[in-house]
Structure 1
Amino acid sequence: MEISGSAFSAGISTIQSGQRRIDQAATEIAGAAFAAPPPQQSRVDATPESRADAPADLSESLVALRVGQHEAQVGARLVKTADEVLGTLIDTKA
Structure 2
Amino acid sequence: MNIQSAFSAGLQGYQRAADGVTEASVNISRQNLNQVANRSDSAPEVNPDQFVDASQQPVTDSLIQLKLDELHAQANANSIRTADEVLGTLIDIRV
TM score, norm. by length of structure 2: 0.75
Offset at residue 22 of structure 1 (A): 0.3
Aligned residue in 1 for 2:68 = 67
Could you list the runs of 5+ residues in structure 2 that have no partner in the other structure? 40-54
Aligned residue in 1 for 2:78 = 77
Aligned residue in 2 for 1:19 = 18
Offset at residue 37 of structure 1 (A): 2.4
- Aligned residue pairs total 78
Sequence identity, in percent?
A: 35
Aligned residue in 1 for 2:33 = 34
RMSD: 1.9
Whichever of the two has the greater Rg, that structure is 1
**Residue type of the partner of 2:24?**
A
**Residue type of the partner of 2:15?**
Q
**Residue type of the partner of 1:58?**
V
**Residue type of the partner of 2:19?**
R
**Residue type of the partner of 2:90?**
L
**Residue type of the partner of 1:26?**
S
Could you list the runs of 5+ residues in structure 1 that have no partner in the other structure? 39-53
